Structure 1
Amino acid sequence: MKVDKKALRAELVLHGLTQEKIAKALGINRDTFRRRMDTNTFHLADVYKMVDFLSLQEDEILKIFFAKD
């Protein structure tokens, strides 16, 4: 799964969230979130939690978490 980091960051900004806040919602620390963001290694459970936490629609999910090269 390739994450569109720019789109994910834009969604976080839209919701007024910092990396620390989203990391807390995922049950991980900020450094772990940043590392997963940098390496595109989000666990599927992370994705489900972010989709729910950010109330993402299907088109947003596809754009962010199934980015095309």
Structure 2
Amino acid sequence: MNKLKGLIYEHGKTYESVSHVIGINRDTFTRRIQSNGLDFKISEIYKMAEYIPLSQEDIQNVFFK
């Protein structure tokens, strides 16, 4: 999840804005990142990919390793 954290900040986004886009509160988003992203739904991953943006390679490396 360190890669996701880096990509969020690299693209000038915040946990608050990303959590809003995917429809969860910031605390829930933070907990999911701390749990290595295991609790993110596919629909949430795709929303993040559009918003941040994330490449297919980023998605693979962050969520499906």
**Structure 2 residue aligned with 1:49, among 47, 50, 64?**
47
Q: TM-score, structure 1 length as denominator?
A: 0.79
Report the Cα offset of residue 7 of structure 1. Answer: 0.5
Task: Return the structure number with greater relative CO, CA threshold 8 A, min gap 6.
Answer: 1
**Structure 2 residue aligned with 1:25, among 16, 21, 27?**
21
Report the Cα offset of residue 55 of structure 1. Answer: 2.6
Q: In the superposition, relative to structure 1, how do residues 46 and 57 fare at CA in structure 2: closer, same or farther (>3 Å)?
A: same
Rg larger for: 1
What is the percentage of aligned positions where both structures have the same residue?
35
Give unpaired runs (5+ residues) of structure 2. Answer: none
Task: Please give the per-residue CA displacement for 1:26-69, whole angstroms capped at 9, x wherever unaligned.
Answer: 111101111211222111111111111123222112111112xx
CA RMSD of aligned residues (A): 1.2
Q: Number of aligned residue pairs: give it.
A: 63
